[in-house]
Amino acid sequence: MDINLLIKEKFGSKRGMLRFFYFQFLLKIGFYRQYKKIDFASVKRLVFICAGNICRSPLAEAVARKNGINSFSFGLDTRGGDPADPRAIDYAIRHQLDLNSHITHTLADYISEVGDLLVVMEPKHIPMLPVACKKLPVTLAGLWLKEPVAYLHDPYNTDLKYFDRCENMVCMAANQLVKRLGFGVK
C-alpha cells in the first residue's frame, strides 16, 4: 500500500499525523491529566469549541441536544453566521441528527453560565481561550473516548472517508460526555 494513502486514511494528512503523535505523546506522559478532573455533578451545560464551528463542535452540540443536554458551540476562528459544512449536514442526517439550521457562532456570541464545561477538540484551542473562559472547567473531547486521544483532527480539508471518521470520533466523544452526565445515549 502507498504510504501517502495510508497516512491520508489514518490521519487525514502528514501534518495531521504529526499532530496526532505529538499530542498522543503528551497524553501518555500525563500532560493532559488535569483535563480529565471534571466534577460532572456541577456541569449544567456542555460548550463545544473548535476552529470554524462548521464540522466538529456543531455535531457534538447536536449529539448533546438529542440526548437532552443543554449545549452550545462556537468557533475560535470563524466570522459567524455561516451554515455547517455540507458534509457535516449530510453526516448528521445519516445519523438522525440535525444541523440544517446551524449557523456558526464566534466567541463573542458565547455568554458563560455557571455550570458550563468547555469541551475543546484540540489542545491548541486551550491557550486560545480568553482569561474569563479559563476560570471555567475545560476538557479535551477526545479524552472521553474508550481509547483516549488528545487531538481530534479538523476534517475540513479531508476527503469524505476521513471526514466521516473524524465526525464518528466527535460523536463518540460527545456520547461519552452525555453518559458521564448520567443521561442515556439516544
pLDDT digits (tens, 9 = 90+) for 8-58: 889 999 999 999 999 999 999 999 999 999 999 999 999 999 999 999 999
| Grid cell digits, residue 148 | 483516549
Quick one: pLDDT at residue 133?
A: 87
Task: Flag whether pLDDT at 184 surpasses 90.
Answer: no
3-state helix, strand, coil in the chain (%, to 5): 45, 10, 40
Which CATH fold topology does 3-180 show? Answer: Rossmann fold (3.40.50)
Task: Flag whether pLDDT at 106 surpasses 70.
Answer: yes
Helices (H), the chain: 3-11, 14-28, 56-66, 86-94, 131-134, 160-180
Global confidence as pTM: 0.95
Task: Encode pLDDT of 54-81 as tens digits.
Answer: 999 999 999 999 999 999 999 999 999 9
Quick one: pLDDT at residue 17?
A: 95
Averaged pLDDT for residues 157-184: 94
156: number of Cβ within 10 Å? 17
The proportion of the chain whose per-residue pLDDT surpasses 90, expressed as a percent, equals 90
Q: Long-range contacts for 26-30 (Cβ within 8 Å, ≥24 apart)? A: 26/123, 26/150, 27/143, 27/148, 27/149, 27/150
The answer to whether residues 133 and 125 touch, using CB atoms and an 8 Å cutoff, is no
Whose cell is 468557533? That residue is 75
Quick one: pLDDT at residue 132?
A: 81
Averaged pLDDT for residues 141-159: 96
Confidence bin at 183 (pLDDT 50/70/90): confident
Quick one: pLDDT at residue 127?
A: 95
Averaged pLDDT for residues 75-91: 97
Question: Rounded distance, CA 129 to CA 16, Å?
Answer: 22
What is the pLDDT of the chain when averaged over all its residues? 95
Question: Rounded distance, CA 184 to CA 186, Å?
Answer: 6
